């Protein structure tokens, strides 16, 4: 395996890179092959606490979008799910 290059992907910090290494993802091609969702689930399996920021960073890396755009989009989707709920 070629080691490195993950930090060349958008949103991949040294900490995120270390978690990816723990699940055997060592380069951008391996990350692309695995996908953000599977990577996130595998990172949880090896001990990372659930984290919206980590999930958004991985999805952003996969889609070449800033992770904060992913987070805002998720927040809008979540609030729209409750738009039709009557207040007590």
Q: Which of 50, 38, 41, 40 is nearest to 12 (CA)?
A: 40
Question: What pLDDT score was predicted for residue 10?
Answer: 96
Question: What pLDDT score was predicted for residue 77?
Answer: 86
Question: What pLDDT score was predicted for residue 4?
Answer: 73
Per-residue pLDDT of the chain (88 residues; tens, 9 = 90+): 445 799 999 999 999 999 999 999 999 999 999 999 999 999 999 999 999 999 999 999 999 999 999 999 999 888 877 666 555 5
Q: Which of 41, 82, 73, 77 is nearest to 58 (CA)?
A: 41
Question: What pLDDT score was predicted for residue 46?
Answer: 97
| Spatial distance between the Cα atoms of 73 and 88, rounded to a whole number of angstroms | 27
């Amino acid at each position: 395996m070629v080691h490195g290059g993950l930090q060349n992907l958008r949103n991949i910090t040294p900490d995120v890179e270390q978690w990816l290494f723990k699940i055997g993802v060592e380069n951008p091609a391996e990350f692309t092959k695995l996908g953000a969702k599977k990577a996130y689930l595998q990172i949880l399996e090896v001990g990372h606490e659930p984290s919206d920021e980590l999930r958004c960073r991985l999805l952003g890396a996969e889609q070449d979008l800033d992770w904060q755009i992913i987070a805002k989009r998720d927040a809008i989707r979540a609030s729209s799910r409750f738009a039709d709920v009557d207040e007590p």
